[in-house]
C-alpha cells in the first residue's frame, strides 16, 4: 500500500500530521511517499492508494496550486477512478476555481470543481456533523469560506459552521475524494470514519488501538452533543 | 488636548495604583494598566522615559526571561518597573509605565521591563516605543491564539515599522525570527553546536527557503527546531551570533563576545532553553554596558520564577512541577524532549488540559503537533494523565509507541496522585498547563509529603 503526502513542507499545520500518523498505525505495511512541491508527484508515474494533502500557510497555497497544475488532469483521472484522497483545512481551496483574498486579488486554483474560496474574518468552530450513518466531530480554524459547492457536500453540519455561514454542507465528497475544512487529527478523532476509509481501501476495518480510539471518540461525542455546548470559539488575536 | 488626556490618565491611574497599594490589594494587575489607556490611548508614549525601556516577546519562555532580566537588573542595584506576572497585553505594559513614574510624571525607576504579547506587538510597540526588543523565538502556538508563525511574523514586521529606533536582540538559532529586519540595529545571540544532530520533529515551520523556495537544511539543532540553517540552493544562512554560548554545562555557560573574549556565567537550570535565556539576557546587558562580572554575580543570585517551576528533593526522589504553555505543540515537544534525554527512572504526570468541565470542549489539534513519541523511552516508567481530554492524550501516547501498561488516566487532574507508584523511581515530573497551576501545586505538595 502506498500513501502519498503532497507537499508536507508547505505546512502540515494544526496537528494534521495526525492523519498520517493514524493511517500508518492502521496500515503498518504502508509505504509513505512525501512529495516536495519542487518534485513530480509520485502518483503521476506510479500507482498510489491514498493521497493526503493538509493545511498550509496561506502564502503557500498558490505555490502548491502551481506545483500541482501540470498534473491536474492525472489527478482528476485518479479522482474519477475512485482513488482515496483526503484534502484537509485550506488544502481544500486547491481543488476549487480560485481564492478571493481580502484585498480583492484572485489566486487561480486547479479548477477541478466549481467552488471557490473567499478569505474572510477568521472563524474558530467546533463541528458536529453527519456522514452516512456516522457522527463526525472536529474543529475548524479558517479564514477561507467555500461557496458554490453544495452539489458535492461531504458532511451535513449539525453544530458549527459549514462551508460558509449559510451552507450547512461541509467540504466536498466526490467518489472517494474527501475534502474538508475540519483541521487537525480528523482520522484519529473519528475512528468510525477511519474504519470506513479502510473498507474503501479493501482492508480489514479494525483500526489501531480501536478500544481506546472509540472510547476517546465516544467521550468527545458526549461533549459535542451536549445541548449547552457553544460551537463558535473566539479567542484573542485571531 | 492630548496633554490634558495624558494628565487625566496619569492622575487617575496613579490614584488607583496608590489606593490599591494602601489597601493591600493586588496592585499588579492589567486592570490598573487599562485605566489610563481608556482616558489616553497612547498613554505610554507620554510617560517620562527611564534610562531604558525593554520589551521581551516571543512564543515560548517570555515570562521566564522577563523575570530573569528584571531580577538581574535589581541584583545589579537598579530600580525596575516590570509586568512580571505575565500580563503581556496593553494593560500589563501600560501598568509598567504607570508604575514607573510619580503623579508629576517624574521617572522613579532606572528600567522598564515589559513582557509583551507577540501578536499584539503591532499595536503596542508604536505606543511604548521600547529601546530594546528581545525576541526569544517564534514558533507554532495554540490554534486558539497565535496559530502560525507567518501570522505572528507579519505582526512583528508591522511592529518594527512603528518603532524604527529600537534595537532588536534576536535569536540567531531561531530560523523563523532571525531574519527579521529593523531600521536601526540587530544584535544576535545563539549557542554553538551541542552535538545533538538534526532530529526531525512534527513541527518544522522553516522547511522552505523564503528567498528561493528551496529546501532548507539544518546544520544542527540544539533543541526543538532551534539551530543553524542553510539553503543549499541560494546560500541563505542563519546569521552569526554576536553573543555565542560556546560551552554549556548544567551549572555554567561560557559566552563569546563580539570582540572574541569569553566570559563565564552561572546557569539557572540545566535545561537548554534556559541556557538560551541566559545568553539572551547577557547579550542585552552587555549591549547596555553592564560589566560581565557584575552580570555573572547577579545571575548567581536569581532563580526561575516559582510560577514556572518548583522542585523538591526528597530523601530518594525528586519531584519537579513545571508549567507548559497551553495547547502549544512546540512547548510540549521541547519538554518531552527534555524528559527523554534524562537518565533517571521517572514517573510523568500530565495535566495539560485547559478546559475543566464548563461546557466548553477543547480542540486537540496541538496533540498531533506534539512529539509524544519522545515519551516512549525505558526510563519513563509511568505516565499519568489527568484532565477532561485524558483519553485523547492516551490515544496520542499509544500512537507514539508508549506501552499501554505504563498509562493511567483520570478526568480530575488532582486525582493523578492516587495513581502514582513511587517504587524504584528517582524523579516525578509534573507537566501542567498554566490553567492547572493550583491543581498541579496541590499534587506537588502531596508528593512532597510522601517522599519526605
Grid coordinates belonging to B234: 541560494
Residue whose C-alpha cell reads 497599594 in the numeric block: B21
Distance CA B411, CA B190 (A): 41
How far apart CA B280 and CA A122 sit, in angstroms, is 34
Do B112 and B186 share a structural domain?
Answer: yes
* Window 118-157 of A, Cβ < 8 Å to B: 124, 126, 139, 141
Are B426 and B345 within 8 A, CB to CB?
yes
Contact B423, A49 (CB under 8 A): no
Cβ-nearest to B215 among A16, A36, A233: A36
Q: Could you give the ipTM of this predicted complex?
A: 0.96
Instruction: Check CB contact under 8 Å for B119 and A36.
Output: no
Instruction: Kindly report, residue by residue over A21-57, the tens digit of the pLDDT.
Output: 999 999 999 999 999 999 999 999 999 999 999 999 9
The domain spanning residue B404 has which CATH number? 3.90.190.20
Residue B140's CATH number:
3.40.1190.10
Average pLDDT along chain B, 452 residues, taken 10 residues at a time = 90 96 92 96 96 95 92 96 91 96 97 95 95 94 79 92 93 96 88 95 92 94 94 97 96 96 93 94 97 96 78 95 88 94 96 71 90 98 96 98 98 95 96 91 95 88
State residue A238's pLDDT score.
37
d(CA B7, CA B39): 9
> Interior CA angle at A36 toward A35 and A38, to 5°?
125
Q: How far apart are CA B59 and CA B315, in angstroms?
A: 37
Mutate which: B116, B234, B392, vs A, most A CBs within 10 A: B392
Counting the structural domains of chain B, the total is 2
Place of cell 475543566: B356
- Has residue A211 got a pLDDT over 60? yes
**Range of A212's domain?**
2-233
**Is B305 part of any domain?**
no
Residues B66 and B142 in one domain: yes
Q: Which residue has the cell 493545511?
A: A55
Q: Which one, of B42, B120, B119, B55, lies nearest residue B83 by Cα?
A: B55
Do B141 and B240 belong to one domain?
yes
Closest by alpha carbon to B115, among B87, B155, B145, B157?
B87
Helix (H, G, I), strand (E, B) or coil at B4: helix
- What CA–CA distance (Å, rounded) separates A39 from A37? 5
Of A220, A223, A235, the CB nearest to B144: A235
* B137, B284: one domain: yes
Task: Map grid coordinates 512525501 to a residue.
Answer: A34
Rounded to 5 degrees, what are φ and ψ at A126? Answer: -80, 155
Q: Are residues B93 and B26 in the same domain?
A: yes
What is the C-alpha to C-alpha distance for residues B211 and B89, in angstroms, rounded to an integer? 33
Neighboring chain A residues of B369 at a CB cutoff of 8 Å: 14-15, 17
Interface test with B, best of A124, A212, A230, A234 (most B CBs within 10 A): A212
Upper half-sphere CA count for residue B36 (Cβ side, 13 Å): 35
- Whether residue A238 is contained in a domain is answered as no
Beta-carbon-side half-sphere exposure of residue B375 (alpha carbons within 13 Å): 31
For B145, the grid coordinates are 491564539
User: Within this chain, do residues B99 and B190 fall inside the same structural domain, yes or no?
Assistant: yes
Beta bridge partners of B370: none
Helices (H), B100-188: 121-128, 149-162
Give the residue from B299, B322, B352 where a domain finishes: B299
Return d(Cα A148, Cα B306) in angstroms, integer.
54
Does the residue A209 lie in any domain? yes
From A17, A18, A226, residue closest to B359, measured CB to CB: A226
Find the domain containing B278 and state its range: 2-299
Domain count, chain A: 1
Q: Which of B431, B380, B370 is nearest to B400 (CA)?
A: B370
Which CATH number goes with the domain that contains A224? Answer: 3.40.50.880
Task: Note whether A215 contacts B391, CB cutoff 8 Å.
Answer: yes
- Measured in residues, chain B has a length of 452
> Over pLDDT 70: what percentage of chain A?
97
Buried b (16+ CB within 10 A) or exposed e, A50-87: bbbbbbbbbebbebbbebbeeebeebbebbeeebbbbb
SS (H, E, C) A192-203: HHHHHHHHHCCC
Paired sense of beta strands B217-223 and B226-230, if any: antiparallel
Identify the pLDDT of residue B145: 73
Whether residue A15 is contained in a domain is answered as yes
3-state secondary structure of A13: coil
- Put simply, the answer to whether A15 touches B215 (Cβ < 8 Å) is no
Shared domain for B251 and B332, answered yes or no, is: no
CB contact under 8 A, A124 and B392: no
Asked if residue B236 is part of any domain, the answer here is yes
Q: Which residues have a Cβ under 8 Å from the Cβ of A187 and sit 6 or more positions away?
A: A18, A19, A22, A23, A86, A193, A194, A197
**Residues comprising chain A, all counted:** 238
Task: Clarify whether residues B85 and B37 are in a common domain.
Answer: yes
Asked, for residue A92, whether it belongs to a domain, the answer is yes
Do B426 and B357 fall within a single domain?
A: yes
State how far Cα A35 lies from the chain centre.
17
Partner residue facing A209 (CB), from B214, B359, B399: B399
Q: Is the whole model's pTM more than 0.90, yes or no?
A: yes
pLDDT confidence of residue A235: 47
C-alpha cell at B171: 535569536
pLDDT of residue B306: 64
B60: in domain: yes
B66 with B192, same domain: the answer is yes
Specify whether B391 is located in the same domain as B433: yes
Q: Is residue B304 part of a domain?
A: no
Last residue of a domain, one of B299, B328, B347: B299
Q: Would you state the cell numbers that stand for residue B140, as one nine-digit string?
A: 507554532
Q: Which residue of A has its CA nearest to B362?
A: A126
Residues B156 and B267 in one domain: yes
b (16+ CB within 10 A) / e for B171-200:
bbbbbbbbbbebeeebbbbbbbebeeeeee
Q: To probe the interface with B, which of A7, A20, A237 has the most B CB atoms within 10 Å?
A: A237
Residue that terminates a domain, selected from B258, B280, B299: B299
Amino acid at each position: 500500500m502506498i500513501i502519498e503526502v503532497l507537499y508536507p513542507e508547505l505546512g502540515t499545520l494544526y496537528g494534521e500530521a495526525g492523519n498520517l500518523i493514524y493511517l500508518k498505525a492502521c496500515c503498518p505495511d504502508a509505504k509513505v511517499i512525501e512529495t516536495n512541491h519542487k518534485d513530480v508527484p509520485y502518483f503521476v508515474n506510479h500507482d498510489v492508494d491514498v493521497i493526503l494533502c493538509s493545511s498550509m500557510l496561506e502564502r503557500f497555497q498558490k505555490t502548491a496550486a502551481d506545483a500541482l497544475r501540470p498534473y491536474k488532469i492525472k489527478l482528476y483521472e485518479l479522482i474519477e477512478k475512485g482513488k482515496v484522497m483526503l484534502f484537509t483545512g485550506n488544502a481544500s481551496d486547491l481543488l476549487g476555481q480560485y481564492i478571493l483574498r481580502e484585498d480583492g486579488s484572485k489566486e487561480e486554483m486547479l479548477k477541478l470543481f466549481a467552488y471557490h474560496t473567499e478569505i474572510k474574518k477568521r472563524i474558530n468552530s467546533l463541528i458536529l456533523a453527519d456522514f452516512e450513518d456516522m457522527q463526525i466531530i472536529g474543529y475548524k480554524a479558517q479564514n477561507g469560506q467555500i461557496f458554490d459547492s453544495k452539489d458535492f457536500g461531504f458532511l451535513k453540519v449539525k453544530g458549527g459552521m459549514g462551508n460558509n455561514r449559510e451552507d450547512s454542507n461541509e467540504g466536498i465528497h466526490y467518489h472517494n475524494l474527501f475534502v474538508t475544512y475540519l483541521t487537525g487529527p480528523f482520522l484519529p478523532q473519528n475512528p468510525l470514519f477511519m474504519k470506513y476509509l479502510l473498507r474503501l481501501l479493501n482492508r480489514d476495518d479494525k483500526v489501531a488501538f480501536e478500544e481506546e480510539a472509540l472510547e476517546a471518540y465516544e467521550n468527545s461525542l458526549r461533549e459535542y452533543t451536549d445541548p449547552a455546548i457553544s460551537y463558535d470559539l473566539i479567542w484573542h488575536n485571531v | 488636548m492630548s496633554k490634558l488626556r495624558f494628565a487625566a490618565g496619569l492622575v487617575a491611574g496613579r490614584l488607583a495604583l496608590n489606593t490599591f497599594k494602601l489597601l493591600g490589594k493586588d496592585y499588579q494587575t492589567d486592570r490598573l494598566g487599562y485605566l489610563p489607556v481608556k482616558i489616553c490611548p497612547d498613554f505610554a508614549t507620554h510617560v517620562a522615559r527611564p534610562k531604558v525601556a525593554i520589551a521581551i516577546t516571543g512564543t515560548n519562555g517570555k515570562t521566564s526571561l522577563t523575570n530573569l532580566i528584571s531580577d538581574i537588573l535589581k541584583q545589579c542595584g537598579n530600580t525596575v518597573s516590570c509586568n512580571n506576572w505575565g500580563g503581556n497585553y496593553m494593560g500589563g505594559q501600560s501598568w509598567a509605565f504607570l508604575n514607573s513614574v510619580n503623579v508629576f510624571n517624574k521617572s522613579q525607576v532606572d528600567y522598564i521591563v515589559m513582557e509583551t504579547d507577540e501578536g499584539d506587538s503591532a499595536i503596542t510597540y508604536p505606543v511604548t516605543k521600547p529601546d530594546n526588543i528581545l525576541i526569544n523565538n517564534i514558533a507554532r502556538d495554540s490554534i486558539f491564539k497565535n496559530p502560525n508563525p507567518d501570522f505572528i511574523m507579519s505582526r512583528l514586521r508591522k511592529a518594527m515599522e512603528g518603532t524604527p529606533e529600537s534595537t532588536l536582540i534576536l535569536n540567531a538559532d531561531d530560523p523563523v525570527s532571525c531574519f527579521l529586519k529593523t531600521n536601526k540595529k540587530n544584535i544576535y545571540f545563539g549557542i554553538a553546536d551541542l552535538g545533538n544532530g538534526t532530529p526531525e520533529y512534527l513541527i518544522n515551520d522553516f522547511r522552505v527557503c523564503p528567498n528561493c523556495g528551496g529546501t532548507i537544511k539544518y546544520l544542527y539543532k540544539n533543541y526543538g527546531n532551534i539551530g543553524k540553517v542553510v539553503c543549499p540552493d541560494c546560500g541563505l544562512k542563519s546569521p552569526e551570533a554576536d553573543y555565542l554560548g560556546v560551552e554549556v554545562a548544567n551549572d555554567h555557560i561560557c559566552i563569546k563576545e563580539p570582540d572574541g573574549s569569553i566570559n563565564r556565567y552561572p546557569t539557572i537550570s540545566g535545561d537548554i532553553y534556559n541556557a538560551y535565556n541566559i545568553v539572551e539576557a547577557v547579550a542585552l546587558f552587555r549591549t547596555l554596558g553592564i560589566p560581565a562580572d557584575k552580570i555573572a554575580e547577579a545571575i548567581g543570585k536569581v532563580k526561575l520564577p516559582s510560577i514556572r517551576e518548583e522542585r523538591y528533593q526528597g530523601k530518594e526522589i525528586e519531584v519537579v512541577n513545571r508549567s507548559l504553555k497551553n495547547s502549544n505543540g512546540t512547548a510540549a515537544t521541547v519538554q518531552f524532549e527534555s524528559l527523554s534525554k534524562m537518565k533517571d527512572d521517572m514517573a510523568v504526570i500530565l495535566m495539560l488540559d485547559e478546559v475543566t468541565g464548563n461546557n466548553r470542549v477543547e480542540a486537540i489539534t496541538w496533540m498531533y503537533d506534539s512529539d509524544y513519541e519522545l515519551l516512549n523511552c525505558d526510563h519513563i516508567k509511568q505516565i499519568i494523565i489527568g484532565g477532561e481530554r485524558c483519553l485523547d492524550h492516551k490515544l496520542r501516547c499509544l500512537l507514539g509507541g508508549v506501552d499501554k501498561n505504563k498509562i493511567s488516566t483520570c478526568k480530575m487532574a488532582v486525582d493523578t496522585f492516587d495513581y502514582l507508584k513511587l517504587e524504584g523511581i528517582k524523579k516525578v515530573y509534573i507537566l501542567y498547563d498554566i490553567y492547572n497551576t493550583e491543581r498541579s501545586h496541590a499534587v506537588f505538595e502531596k508528593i512532597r509529603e510522601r517522599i519526605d
